[in-house]
Amino acid sequence: MDIKLTKYSHGAGCGCKLSPAVLDRILHFNEAAPHYPKLLVGNDTRDDAAVYDMGNGQGLISTTDFFMPIVDDPFDFGRIASANAISDVYAMGGSPVMAIAILGWPIDTLAPEVATEVIRGARAICGEAGIPLAGGHSIDSPEPIFGLAVSGSVDLRHLKQNSQATRGCELFLTKSLGVGILSTAEKHGVLEPELLGRNIASMTTLNSIGEAFGRIDGVKAMTDVTGFGLLGHLVEMCDGSQLTAEISLSTLPQLCDLSAFIAEKRTPGGTKRNWKSYGHRIQLFGEREVADKFDEYYESLAILCDPQTSGGLLIAVDPSAVAEVMELMRERGLHNYCTPIGRLIAQEDAAVQVQR
């Protein structure tokens, strides 16, 4: 279908998420939220999904995610948005059960048949996950919006959160970074077809390995890396676990050599917004006061803060379980991600210390 969906939206994928700082202001209530004893995971630790205790050893997982087009092809847009939403269930160590579609469509500017392709893409990914796309809700919207509300289940013994990491854990990332940069290059019309295919393949790959990670006791914490970038989601893990992370820039997997795109400033607007939200929490290459030095460290921060859409899982693994985790990753074809990107240490002033 010859259509360029990205020209109809001001944002792209998870890059259009509200920044962590803005989200803090929205969620800062003056009165305490009601207490629900069976709500095991709410929004207090900024986890990937809510979890409700069903009373039989099982937890009900509930999540939603939606955004504006990150690619021009509507079928691929539906696939990417769906894989991204389902990922939240896997990030809790759970199994998806069913999904409900969320569709906003500019009916005066985009034909309904284009939305049909989006839904077709969603059904394809839901089929891969083994779940039905069981219904949904749609509205007339100025910009195209699509996503899913997903329900899942988890054996509560296998529930993973982003706030349960322990000191000494090694950190692994299961997908390469650079989705936001390559998507921006596509929007600018300068992305080669091979790299476009690589980008789409990454975003449409399900994080189903998360369910298997859930069964490994030594996987202490897990989250997926999306719109806040690697640094943002790592800060959330460190804050929840009251630890500090040490990571090495040189070990971070990238979808390709991103240097040319970065030099040409083909980076999403969300990159700098992300840094403004948590730059004061970062020690960069041994320097602590770096919050106002985005331009000085732009080449590095473009990768570290790049908003990911349907990014990989970030897992904190006890040293005793590293061999088991690496064996599982190799079985699933993730040979290139068996090198730790860092480790967790006792809490210090900076939430994350980035080394070269």
Known catalytic residue at 14: yes
Q: How many residues does the chain have?
A: 356
183 neighbors 283 (Cβ within 8 angstroms): no
> Which backbone phi and psi does 308 adopt, to 5 degrees?
-95, 145
Full 3-state SS string of the chain: CCCCHHHHCCCCHHHHCCCHHHHHHHHCCCCCCCCCCCEEECCCCCCCCEEEECCCCEEEEEEEEEECCCCCCHHHHHHHHHHHHHHHHHHCCCEEEEEEEEEEECCCCCCHHHHHHHHHHHHHHHHHHCCCEEEEEEEECCCCEEEEEEEEEEEHHHCCCCCCCCCCCEEEECCCECHHHHHHHHHCCCCCHHHHHHHHHHHCCCCCHHHHHHCCCCEEEEEECCCCHHHHHHHHHHHHHCEEEEEEHHHCCECCCCHHHHHCCCCCHHHHHHHHHHHHHEEECCECCCCCCCCCCHHHHHHHCCCCCCCCEEEEECHHHHHHHHHHHHHCCCHHHCCCCEEEEECCCCCEEEEC
Sorted by sequence, the CB contacts under 8 Å of residue 23 that are 6+ apart come out as none
151 neighbors 236 (Cβ within 8 angstroms): no
Q: Which of 14, 126, 238, 305 is catalytic?
A: 14
**Active site residue ranges:** 14
